Structure 1
Amino acid sequence: MAAAVLRLARSKPFAFGVGFSCVKTSVSDLIVQVGVERREEIDWRRNASFAAFGFGYLGIVQYTLYVPVFGRLFPGAAAFAAKPLRDKLADPKGLATLAAQVFLDQCVHHPFAYFPAFYATKELVTRGNVELALSKWKENFWADLQALWQVWVPATILNFAFSPMWLRIPVVASTSLLWTMILSTMRGKTHDVEQGVAVHSDILLEEGEVEDPILGAHVSARTMELFRKGLARRNTSAETHFVVTASGADRVGLVNKLAHRIYEGGGSIAESKMMRIEDDFTIVMHVTAPKGTSLKSDIMDFHPLDKLEVRAREVGVRKDKPVARLRLTGKDRPGIVFEITQIFTSLGYNIDELNTDTVPGNWFLLELFASHASFQHSSSKDKVLLETKLNQIQTDLDLKLDLSWVKDH
């Protein structure tokens, strides 16, 4: 079977590369939806969009770049890849050609072509717009590149150094699929968000800010963050967990000073959420530290110096999991949060996480309200009633609601 696949890849490299990339991207999204987002029902529209992205960009565009374009720009690339390792190391011209290919791919192609297409596809799938996609691309530019290079510079060196031209696209697709599976495994077992701690304060960034190895997890700043958090939490039995809150008059350097105090005390900031209202600053952090640490007293001693009201309390690791997640948008009006949470509360659901935000309107756009929340319940017997009530309030308040169920654990 493997031999037949390789023969097909060698005899029809373009068709195989495009098809493989299409299937890989579809499978990657399915892994994310099932293993990371814990969806009970697959969003096939989204999956089809990503499959199309894999077919068009990852397949056609990247194949064109890596094979015919690089083949013409670097005519000795194929011969270099076929050489034994000892001969490669003794070939300075071939090594220079390899370095040039990696540079063009990682410093030109990815930052200025792949990532804009990456963000544009995500926005179109979530009914956003290209202008917002370009804004995110610019905002995350350097962070995305640093994360990308940690995985893809060594992966690309190995690919371009050892793979024949016809195998380049399948190797790229397989590497990104492996990355998706690693994220899904680590994220699916650690459940950072399901421990009830908000990851990001800007809820106008799609739900993917919490669940965003989307698009097959071609390494970005967000997916690298998920990976590191998952790696850091493989063993939490020897850790103490704290909730730290700090508030006071806003001024430059407060977060840096507080983070430095936590670092000096041996602590690590697992999650944080900051808000500034007018001249007032507030931050909430989930901090972990080795058992027996004096971190709590170290943090509490911070506020006399900078006139911050700082509190730190030890908490246990959450065991229960949210069973429902809700995302909503609509025209801002008083009482939306009350009426939505009243429905969940009346049916016995506990609010695990709640983020809200408003976008100011102008002369042709109304003020927009957006929220993302997760809820926990000991059973799922009230699913139908909950969905019925939410459908009714969606009509009454003219909201767009998206309710998703987390699979039972």
Structure 2
Amino acid sequence: MVVSIIADDQPGLVDSLAQTVVDNQGNWLESRMAQMAGKFAGILRISVSEPHSSSLQEALEALQTRGMKVIVEQAVDESAPATRALLLNLVGNDRPGIVREVSQLLARQHINVEELSTECTPAPHSSDMLFRAQARLQVPTDVDIDTLTETLESLADDLIVEVSHPGA
């Protein structure tokens, strides 16, 4: 199952979640969690045998009585068409709509964004803000990397784009 959680940040949130998983015979497989603006947010994947699935789901949803917003979804079959994993790094001047422009371009090419991190930071020697994004993508094998890079760079004159294979 896949679980999303958001709550006011405080010590013990991850422990409560982990204890709930263990108490209901679940196995915590992977997660992404972060604190942002006083909130704690996360998503995790849990394996659990069928006989314990409903009790785990009920126990996770019961965490809402402790101020956590919890959404539990059953995982789906991950079989997909032929794709390859790529890493995307972008840097450019920040402006409204840049995430939408990039995501729209990727969607038009049937590229799946598996993970995305963004931030705005002051540019060195300037008061301008720089937009930075890092993404892990699943790209159809028929998409040419050079063409993808050029298309992304065409979104703005100042956009620096690097597309690479994981571990490269």
Same fold (TM over 0.5): yes
TM-score, normalised with respect to structure 1: 0.35
Matched residue SS, 2:51? coil
Task: Determine if the alignment matches structure 1 residue 261 to structure 2 residue 20.
Answer: yes
Identity of aligned residues (%): 26
Cα pair 2:111 2:137 within 8 Å, conserved? yes
TM-score, normalised with respect to structure 2: 0.77
- 1:29-40 matched pairs, under 5 angstroms: none
CA deviations 1:370-399 (Å, max 9, x no partner) are 212233354415555423312423xx2412
CA deviations 1:53-90 (Å, max 9, x no partner) are xxxxxxxxxxxxxxxxxxxxxxxxxxxxxxxxxxxxxx
Shift in Å at residue 342 of structure 1? 2.0
CA–CA distance in 2 between the matches of 1:361 and 1:384?
A: 27
CA–CA distance in 1 between the matches of 2:141 and 2:37?
A: 42
Q: Which has the higher contact order (CA 8 A, sep 6+)?
A: 2
Q: Which amino acid aligns with 1:290?
A: S
CA–CA distance in 2 between the matches of 1:400 and 1:363?
A: 18
CA–CA distance in 1 between the matches of 2:146 and 2:102?
A: 16
CA–CA distance in 1 between the matches of 2:135 and 2:74?
A: 24
Q: What is residue 60 of structure 2 aligned with on the other side?
A: 299
CA–CA distance in 1 between the matches of 2:112 and 2:35?
A: 27
Q: Assess, with a 3 A threshold, how the Cα gap between structure 1 residues 251 and 362 changes in structure 2: closer, same or farther.
A: farther
CA–CA distance in 2 between the matches of 1:298 and 1:252?
A: 20
Q: What is residue 277 of structure 1 aligned with on the other side?
A: 36
CA–CA distance in 1 between the matches of 2:146 and 2:122?
A: 35
- 1:49-198 matched pairs, under 5 angstroms: none
Task: Determine if the alignment matches structure 1 residue 318 to structure 2 residue 72.
Answer: no
Task: Determine if the alignment matches structure 1 residue 375 to structure 2 residue 116.
Answer: no
Matched residue SS, 1:333? coil
Cα pair 1:347 1:382 within 8 Å, conserved? no
Cα pair 2:84 2:141 within 8 Å, conserved? no
User: Structure 1 regions of 5+ residues with no counterpart?
Assistant: 1-241
Cα pair 1:325 1:375 within 8 Å, conserved? yes
Match of 1:354 among 110, 116, 128: 116
CA–CA distance in 2 between the matches of 1:329 and 1:355?
A: 12
User: Structure 2 regions of 5+ residues with no counterpart?
Assistant: none
Q: Assess, with a 3 A threshold, how the Cα gap between structure 1 residues 330 and 302 changes in structure 2: closer, same or farther.
A: same
Shift in Å at residue 352 of structure 1? 2.7
Count of residue correspondences: 162
Q: What is residue 386 of structure 1 aligned with on the other side?
A: 148
Task: Determine if the alignment matches structure 1 residue 343 to structure 2 residue 105.
Answer: yes
Cα pair 2:153 2:159 within 8 Å, conserved? no
Q: What is residue 398 of structure 1 aligned with on the other side?
A: 158
Q: Assess, with a 3 A threshold, how the Cα gap between structure 1 residues 245 and 380 changes in structure 2: closer, same or farther.
A: same
Q: Assess, with a 3 A threshold, how the Cα gap between structure 1 residues 405 and 362 changes in structure 2: closer, same or farther.
A: closer
CA–CA distance in 2 between the matches of 1:361 and 1:377?
A: 31
Q: Assess, with a 3 A threshold, how the Cα gap between structure 1 residues 275 and 385 changes in structure 2: closer, same or farther.
A: same
Matched residue SS, 2:152? helix
Shift in Å at residue 246 of structure 1? 1.4
Cα pair 2:35 2:41 within 8 Å, conserved? yes
CA RMSD of aligned residues (A): 2.7
Q: Which amino acid aligns with 2:48?
A: A
Q: Assess, with a 3 A threshold, how the Cα gap between structure 1 residues 365 and 256 changes in structure 2: closer, same or farther.
A: farther
CA–CA distance in 1 between the matches of 2:28 and 2:117?
A: 20
